[in-house]
Amino acid sequence: MPPRKIIIDTDPGQDDAVAILLALASPEDLEVLGITAVAGNVPLPLTEKNARIVCELAGKPDTKVFAGCDAPIARKLVTAEHVHGKTGLDGPSLPDPTMPLQDQHAVDFIIDTLRTEPAGTVTLCPLGPLTNIAVALQRAPDIANRIQEIVLMGGAYFEVGNITPAAEFNIYVDPEAAKIVFACGAPITIMPLDVTHKALVTEPRNNAFRALGTPVGVAVAQMTDFFERFDKEKYGSAGAPLHDPCVTAYLIRPDLFTGRHINVEIETGSDLTLGMTVADWWGVTDRPANATFMGDIDSDGFFALLTERLARL
Using CB under 6 A as the criterion, which residues of the chain lie in contact with ligand RIB when the complex forms?
A: 11, 13, 15-16, 40-41, 127-128, 153, 162, 168-170, 243-244
CA dist 227 and 163 (Å) reads 15
We find the least distance from the C-beta atom of residue 193 to ligand RIB, in angstroms, to be 7
13 binds Ca ion (CB under 5 A): yes
127 binds Ca ion (CB under 5 A): yes
User: Which is closer to ligand RIB, CB of 72 or CB of 128?
Assistant: 128
Cα angle 229, 248, 148 (rounded to 5 degrees) comes to 140
Contact 240, 220 (CB under 8 A): no
16 binds Ca ion (CB under 5 A): yes
**Which partner in Ca ion, ligand RIB, none is near 162 (CB below 5 to 8 A by kind)?**
ligand RIB
Give which of 110, 105, 104, 101 is closest to 5, Cα–Cα.
Answer: 110
User: Which is closer to ligand RIB, CB of 111 or CB of 168?
Assistant: 168
259 binds Ca ion (CB under 5 A): no
Cα angle 142, 152, 21 (rounded to 5 degrees) comes to 115
CA dist 200 and 205 (Å) reads 9
We find the least distance from the C-beta atom of residue 121 to Ca ion, in angstroms, to be 25
**Which partner in ligand RIB, Ca ion, none is near 171 (CB below 5 to 8 A by kind)?**
none
We find the least distance from the C-beta atom of residue 13 to ligand RIB, in angstroms, to be 4
Residues 163-177 as b/e (b if ≥16 CB within 10 A, e otherwise) read: bbebbbbbbbbbbbb
We find the least distance from the C-beta atom of residue 23 to ligand RIB, in angstroms, to be 14
128 binds Ca ion (CB under 5 A): yes
CA-to-CA dists, residue 270 to 32, 165, 191, 290, angstroms: 37, 13, 24, 22
User: Which is closer to Ca ion, CB of 219 or CB of 242?
Assistant: 242
Per the DSSP assignment, residues forming a β-bridge with 259 are: 294
What backbone torsions phi and psi does residue 309 show, to the nearest 5 degrees? -75, -40
Catalytic residue among 84, 105, 197, 243: 243
β-strands 4-10, 188-191 pairing: unpaired
**Which partner in Ca ion, ligand RIB, none is near 169 (CB below 5 to 8 A by kind)?**
ligand RIB
130 binds Ca ion (CB under 5 A): no
**Which partner in Ca ion, ligand RIB, none is near 228 (CB below 5 to 8 A by kind)?**
none
Establish whether 243 is a catalytic residue: yes
**Which partner in ligand RIB, Ca ion, none is near 290 (CB below 5 to 8 A by kind)?**
none
Measured in Å, how far apart are the chain's first and last C-alpha atoms?
23
Binding site for Ca ion (CB under 5 A): 11, 13, 16, 127-128, 244
Active site residues: 243
